[in-house]
Amino acid sequence: MRFRDLKKKQHKKASEEKNIIHYARYTDRIKALITDMFMIYAPILYIITYGFMGGKDDFQSSQIAPLVGVTMYGVIYAILLAKKAQTPGKKAYTIKVVDANTMQNISFIRAFVRFVAFLFTATTLLGLLLPLYRKDKKALHDLIASTIVLQTDNHNL
């Protein structure tokens, strides 16, 4: 075998190894969601309840306050995904959300659509259990937004 052919073969093998995709584990995705709820959503609800309203009774009787809280959480979530492809929870578990085709960060609009789709798919639970049956670990909101959740650090694999 010629040296040139051997080098091409090694280069091709190295490039194939770089293209291996490490999908985020389902348990890490759930832990990241719970972390985000405590780090982002809970403070938003606290500020709305005690900063802008008279307390928990006013918050519970209001129909618009929970909607404002979820909307603010969705906007913050979408900004973080668009800028860094990670929320604090996703960063803690070394996972990120990227475009399924280009592996680049997604836009704010797409991240917000993904969040809204998550809200709807979470109500049915079917969309959240989908990653357990798919090889690419995509949930229904990932399919809708054409995104993928990847492991960024290989030490947890």
pLDDT, tens digit, 9 for 90 and up, residues 66-80: 999 999 999 999 999
Within a domain: 50: yes
Say whether 148 sits in a helix, a strand or coil.
strand
Within a domain: 133: yes
Structural domain of 129? 23-156
For the stretch 7-30, pLDDT in tens is 566 655 554 445 678 888 889 999
Distance separating alpha carbons of residues 70 and 58, to the nearest angstrom: 17
Counted domains in the chain = 1
Within a domain: 1: no
- pTM for the full model? 0.80
83: pLDDT strictly greater than 90: yes
